[in-house]
Amino acid sequence: MNTIKFIILALATVFGLTLTAPGDDVKPAAKTNNLPSASTKQGVTYVADIKPIFDSSCVKCHSGDKPRAKLKLDSLADALKGDRDGKVIIAGDSTKSRLVLSVAHLTSDKDTWMPPLQNKAGIAPLTSEQIGLIRAWIDQGAK
């Protein structure tokens, strides 16, 4: 049995694979090379550019007294606070911002895809242009 484990580990090493035991919560990194490009628009602001996107696609669930995941997106201050797990926006780096990975549906956990593919409100996924604008806003400092 030990010989078999050794052979499997050796092959995994040779082929650059990562092995995890059943039940491990290790998730592969998001594929950021599949992200829509950041918009080239300069001077992107929350109020003028991002709030309209959030208002139409996000605040139905992410506002009020009991926002989902404790993430409120109806004000800049609340969006920058993050959710129950911490910051979702990393100002200056959209590729590391969980919000971007969630709206681009690039996280390994489909439960974090926003808006969810099957949602009661019938909200469609964000377009590449909307995601690109959110990326530009975050890359420009999330102001």
Q: Is the dihedral of CA 127, 128, 131, 137 positive or negative?
A: negative
Q: What is the tens place of the pLDDT at every residue in 83-107?
A: 999 999 999 999 999 999 999 999 9
Average pLDDT for 39-59? 98
Instruction: Dump pLDDT digits (tens) for 110-120.
Output: 999 999 998 99
Residue 21 has pLDDT above 60, yes or no: no
Q: How far apart are CA 70 and CA 94, in angstroms?
A: 21
Mean pLDDT of 41-52: 98
- Domains of the chain, by residue range, sit at 37-139
Full-model pTM? 0.77
Q: Tell me, what's the pLDDT at 6?
A: 52
